[in-house]
Chains A and B, each alone.
Chain A
Amino acid sequence: MIDKSYDIVIIGGGPAGLAAAISAFDNGVKNVLVLEREQRTGGILNQCIHNGFGLTRFKESLSGPEYAYRFVKQVKDRKIPVLTQTTVLSISQDKTITAINKEYGVFTVNAKAIVLAMGCRERSKGALNIAGTRPAGIFSAGTAQKYVNVKGYMPGREVVILGSGDIGLIMARRMTLEGAKVKAVCEIMPYSGGLKRNIVQCLNDFDIPLYLSHTITQIHGKDRVTGVTISKVDQNKRPIPNTEIYFDCDTVLFSVGLIPENELTKGMGVPLSPRTKGAVVYQDRQTLVDGVFACGNVLHVHDLVDFVSDEAELAGLSAANYVKNGASVHDTIDCVNGKNIGYVLPQKIDKNLSGDVKLYFRVANEFKNCKIVCECNGQVLAQKKKPVVAPGEMEYLVIKESEIKNANGQITLSLEELL
């Protein structure tokens, strides 16, 4: 049987969990356990065989498994225990974790600190209310990615993709390379939710048409998908009659957003933000429950794993500090999103913590030539100009420690358009 008590237990062995474990260990807390649901650690990176990971962190373009291995190896080198094929069932407020696996059945472990690193999952077709029966051939883009890249199966031959998030774009290219015909990518918004480079190298490179302001209005077929009808949508995202286009296809992929997987978080009573769908956190990534930290996509959905690793290292360090020093007294100011900002994280700033604060945020819309301003009681704490911003690309703004110390009220981040 494994030990019953750990200083830090990390829930999830994806990029966030691995980086948090390494960081906690390197910051002096050696009694760390990682719990992972899948057969191997590395999380979603294992099925992301395309390159482009690690440019910020390692200054080279790695594939998902290559990026993951750098962390897998460090965990191994430190001999940090990892239980794979282990599902956490619940976590109690006193930090008792109930989990299940083949070897131990249902078992519990206790932790002084917990790092939540469960990642996110795909929004499903069911969330979208699309007319039609329930034929085979409908997949989330991530499921299709697992079939093609990990299992070696092709989900179909003629494909229409709904949603132009990065996974949808990546799968448009991947299916094309493997011999499928991708007939269209539809995006309900007037702009793509994916990175610009993915529009170029995944769609334009293969002449795959992108239909902006379009959505699927009907899926045809009884046993198997036989086609889809797409329609143009108005400003309120309602389909416009007589704009229908029909495509023959046997497969529909949905790439319609990611949702942080916070069932365990909710179950233990950690307050969530309705905007990020993740926990409300301080700048050190501590949630509003003492000793519980969160990082990576379970906290807010990132575009780049490089930022996940950074955030997880911060959470790991903070968890280690918590174990060494115990709970600290917070001197809290709120950090809220103002005009044209979708969300800002952290939502709480603790003035007792030292160091500059990096505010991560997403804008609410596409803007050109604008200024991001962070202010408190009419006083500007930090600002920067941006030539182009889009909701699909996470941005950040650094507030200096000296500015934080002087702040005496709610901090607001907003975007101003420059003429």
Chain B
Amino acid sequence: MNSVNLTCVECPLGCSITVCLKDGKVESVSGNSCPRGKAYAESEVVCPKRVLTTTVKTADGRILAVKTDNPVPKADLMKLMQRINGIIANTPVKIGDIIVKNLIEGVNLVATDYLE
């Protein structure tokens, strides 16, 4: 059995979490202050994921803030950035509008700002 120490990134508290693993499976999670911390720790030791926030160009030459509507594998972030940087969004656009459907594993890229 081995243990992994993590700092939770779910909220500003930044809890120090210890995950005990046995045969690569999570045995226990301690140190978290909330269920989100437990879920983060369980995911972090198997496949770390992050919400990606960035920008895309718009057809009329402006910049639009976007994010993935769910966490995506950390290992794929740079690859996804390359794809996203080639995307041109149409305006007008509202917060929450899907810019790219199913960017990866069913996760969409959505607008986080509005442009008239």
A binding-site residues for B, Cβ under 8 Å: 46, 49-52, 55-56, 61-66, 69, 148-152, 177-179, 195-197, 199-201, 205, 303-304, 393
Q: Which residue of A lies closest to B14 (CB)?
A: A196
Do residues A51 and B53 form an inter-chain contact, with CB atoms below 8 A? yes
Pairs across A and B, CB under 8 Å, 28 listed: A46-B113, A49-B112, A55-B10, A55-B11, A56-B11, A61-B10, A62-B112, A63-B65, A63-B113, A65-B65, A65-B95, A65-B112, A65-B113, A65-B114, A66-B95, A66-B113, A69-B113, A149-B65, A152-B57, A177-B54, A177-B77, A196-B7, A197-B7, A197-B11, A200-B6, A200-B7, A201-B9, A205-B48
Question: For the complex, what is the distance from the CA of A150 to the CA of B65, rounded to whole Å?
Answer: 8
A63, B67: Cβ atoms under 8 Å? yes
A177 vs B82: C-alpha distance when bound (angstroms) = 9
Rounded to whole angstroms, the CA-CA distance of A197 and B7 in the bound complex is 7
Interface assignment of B25: CB less than 8 Å from any CB of chain A: no
1/0 contact trace for B6-21 toward A, CB 8 Å?
A: 1111111010000000
> Which residues of B are interface residues toward A (Cβ below 8 A)?
6-12, 14, 48, 50-55, 57, 63, 65, 67, 74, 77-78, 81, 85, 95, 112-114
Among candidates A46, A49, A195, residue contacting B54 with C-beta atoms closer than 8 Å: A49
What's the least CB distance linking A59 to chain B, in Å?
A: 10
Contact of A69 with B95 in the complex, beta carbons under 8 Å: yes
Interface centre among B8, B10, B55, B57 (most CB of A within 10 A): B55
In this complex, what residue of A is CB-closest to B94? A69
| Distance, CA A50 to CA B50, complexed state (A) | 11
With both beta carbons as reference points, the residue of chain A lying nearest to B74 in the complex is identified as A205
Q: Which residues of A contact B51 (CB under 8 A)?
A: 51, 61
Whether B95 lies near A151 (C-beta < 8 A) is no
The 6 nearest A-B residue pairs measured at CB: A196-B14, A65-B113, A197-B9, A49-B65, A63-B112, A152-B63
- Are A197 and B8 closer than 8 Å at their CB atoms? yes
Q: Are B63 and A151 in contact (CB under 8 A)?
A: yes
